[in-house]
Structure 1
Amino acid sequence: MRLRIFTEPQQGASYQTLLTVAKAAEDLGCFEAFFRSDHYLKMGDVDGLPGPTDAWITLAGLARDTERIRLGTLMTAATFRHPGPLAISVAQVDQMSGGRVEFGFGAGWYEAEHTAYGIPFPASLGERFQRFEEQLAVITGLWSTPPGETFQYEGRHYRLAEGPALPKPAQSPRPPVLIGGTGAKRTPRLAATYADEYNVPFCVPEETAAAFDRTRAAVRAAGRSAPMVYSAAQVLCVGRDDAEVARRAAAIGREVDELRVNGLAGSPAEVVDKIGRFAEIGAEAVYLQVLDLSDLDHLELVASEVAPQLR
């Protein structure tokens, strides 16, 4: 099982905080990637200070300030950006990192942050998915167009004519594309068509298994031969004893009993057992949602007492 760190900076984190966590994850050696959300507005009863940070500007900085750890988003919102400029940004960050970028991409859902920052938000879920699918076609098409050739696209929402399809990412033919969610039809179809990895966030193993099965069926129906990586995202709350678990749960405003059901919570042995349940249903990677970014000892505990048991 591959371990990846997943952060939620809109809840309150400066670039320096994110860099500190990313460097700690890199230095500990057992975490292969550092991911962040793509949101512009806090959620819940937190102050969110010092305010939001942009996902791809953050990752550009981390591309230069780290050396080995992979970098990505869960998930970049299609509603935030136009596909052509987004393809350029991600390709450039991939070049800056020496080919360490992974592109998690979603349709966008949080209407309040769009209103807060003047970003148009299609009210219809159907339109958001139409735009999302067209953006997937455009972005992957731009990256995969052979050098010296141009890219054309004629969709309902986006049209590109004689696009130079530059710059190219460092990774060939493209950075890995991640699609996630638990939608029953559109999400599995889009994952089978465009994604290298399918991620299920914050579900119990039984729900995750059902979502994996829907995507496996879509992969078969598409006649796809390329492998698909299956992964899960879970909030992390591990402690050496009950008091430490309770302290970490309180720090993120959650209850221990609830986290034991809906996350990776408890002793290292309990967390190893829960990760094993995800491995049994086919998950190859787990994204550990770390909400208290000041608690670097949390990462060290995983590195010393959880990761060695997963090898």
Structure 2
Amino acid sequence: MSSIDIHKHLICCTLTINSTTLYTYENQQLTSHLNKLNCSEIISQELGLINSSKTLVGSIPVSTNTSLKLSLYFMKKFLNIDGSRDLITVVAIAHVDVNKTFILIVLRNIMDKYIEFKMRQEDNKSDRTQKSKPGEFKLFMNQIIKYEEMNYNSNEQVYGYGSTNGNDNEADAEASGNNNSNNNTGLINANQLLLANEEVGEVRQLMLENINKLLKRGDKINSLVDQTDRLNTSSSLFQKKAQQIKRKMWFHKTKFIASITGGAMIVVYLLIGSECGYPLFDSCRS
């Protein structure tokens, strides 16, 4: 086919967040020999189904116009930053004979590196001198893929432990079956370990979210109790002030009425006295 071995390389890899493509890697040497395989179109067709499913790690067969058998592999994880919940999905297309553990390690490394990159972006958001350049992570992504592909041969024995590829799969299954029948123990392969790790991480994240929500709810309840106490205290003070003001207003009103009444009586006395004589109205009485 070409100098590059399709059984030891990824054809393409894409990192998305909330179904939006951020970075894409494509092996041009392989795609040029696969009738210019449109990886972006294949991934976009399957991405909605992948993100809507509850499966965190999995694979889907890819139908092509060639005799080659390809598979689409994915890994996804939720990332919570500043209250937002983003779904990160890493998708790769490779030949079905490519070691599954190798693919999962690549996807996991890309996922971890991007989360670290994203966290660093958030930490440096206020520092203009530390802002990341556009497309900076694509370089990291390419380096991860190239590094794992370069070490494919040296790590093949490690990848092969518990793998599910080709004839080794049948041999491992038979060996596992014999071992189970003799020792009542089973082998856990690397794929299952990675999947279990992802599921445990997701459950842990959900538990932390629930705990944070409970703590926030407790803080809100405590704040509400404090506000209620302050409101009750303010209400008591307001009631006392209102009673004091009411007494003061009543005193001023009584004083005003007494002053008006006294003044009126003095005027009447003066008017009657001017006609009847002072001080006891002697002329009018006689």
- Give TM-score scaled by structure 2 length: 0.24
More strand by share: 1
Which is higher, the Rg of structure 1 or of structure 2? 2
More helix by share: 2
